[in-house]
Structure 1
Amino acid sequence: MEAKNVNATPENPNTTTVRRLYTALARGNRKISGLIASDLEWWFHGPQNCHHMMKMLTGKSSPTDFKFEPRSIEAIDDDCVIVEGWEGAQVYWVHVWTLKDGVITQFREYFNTWLTVTDLRPLKCLGFNTLWQSHERDYERSLPGLMLAI
């Protein structure tokens, strides 16, 4: 009989949805319509030739063209999941997924840039809350930094 960790906290449902999306895409499964809204709002920041996720979601590329292998998946706030990945010293990406009722409604892709996510809503005497920040890595070149306010 396998022992269960009774102190383990269940994974955030939004994180589970996003993890299912990456698993499906890695397997070449295009049946992801139940995970993503038909009117997905999309934002991209990075070199124009790096729209890899958009190409994958629209069927214009395959999982062998670019492999999204998440290194971290973290839920922040009630409706946001941030996924970070990198390959070697040349490719770094951050995906910010917004969900409503378990369905992805917004996607922001940041390619080859550091990202800091800050909550500006409280405005606690302008002492902004940092909710998430890119994990530092040793790169052979510098990457620009961006702040995403939610």
Structure 2
Amino acid sequence: MRLLTGSTDPFIFVPLSVTAFGSLVIVEGYNKELDASWVHAWTVTNGILTQVREYFNTSLTVARLSNSEGGPPSISSAPTVGANCQSVWQSKLCDDKSVPGLVLAL
């Protein structure tokens, strides 16, 4: 946090919810002192944390994309308006704030 913001104030990460979708783990929390909500998206490979994405004061929706046959879209096919997009998780701590929204596709 100090590297990103320059702040020397401690930022305490207290998870309020943890949800897993295969190798993706979504952790959501709130820091009351700074009025900041946060979401971490962790990628876990063979029991090891291999990637961390961190979002502050952002409404995050996790969606599963698939083609019309029910499988994942192929790399060679461009997404279409008719592609199936199923929301599987949405952050809850930004509901009463005006914050940017982001969709994380599975």
Same fold (TM over 0.5): yes
SS of equivalent residue, structure 1 residue 71: strand
Please, which of 78, 91, 95 is the counterpart of residue 134 of structure 1? 91
1:42-65, Cα deviation, whole Å (9 max, x unpaired): xxxxxx418x9xxxxxxxx8xx81
Percentage of matched positions with identical amino acids: 43
Answering whether residue 26 of structure 2 is matched by residue 82 of structure 1, we say: yes
Q: Are residue 105 (structure 1) and residue 61 (structure 2) matched?
A: no
Q: Residue in 1 aligned with 2:67? A: 123
1 or 2, which has the higher helix percentage? 1
Conserved? CA contact 2:40–2:52, under 8 Å? yes
Structure (1 or 2) with the greater strand fraction:
2
Alignment of 1:143 with 2:99, yes or no, is yes
Residue identity matched to 2:23: D
The aligned amino acid for 2:85 is F
| Unpaired runs of at least 5, structure 1 | 1-47, 53-60
Unaligned residue ranges in structure 2 (runs of 5+): 69-81
Output the CA distance in 1 between the equivalents of 2:95 and 2:103.
20
Aligned-partner residue type, residue 102 of structure 1: G
Task: Give the root-mean-square deviation of aligned CA atoms.
Answer: 2.5
TM-score (normalizing by structure 2): 0.71
What is the distance in 2 between the residues matched to 1:94 and 1:137? 10
User: What is the alpha-carbon distance in structure 1 between the residues aligned to residue 58 and residue 16 of structure 2?
Assistant: 16
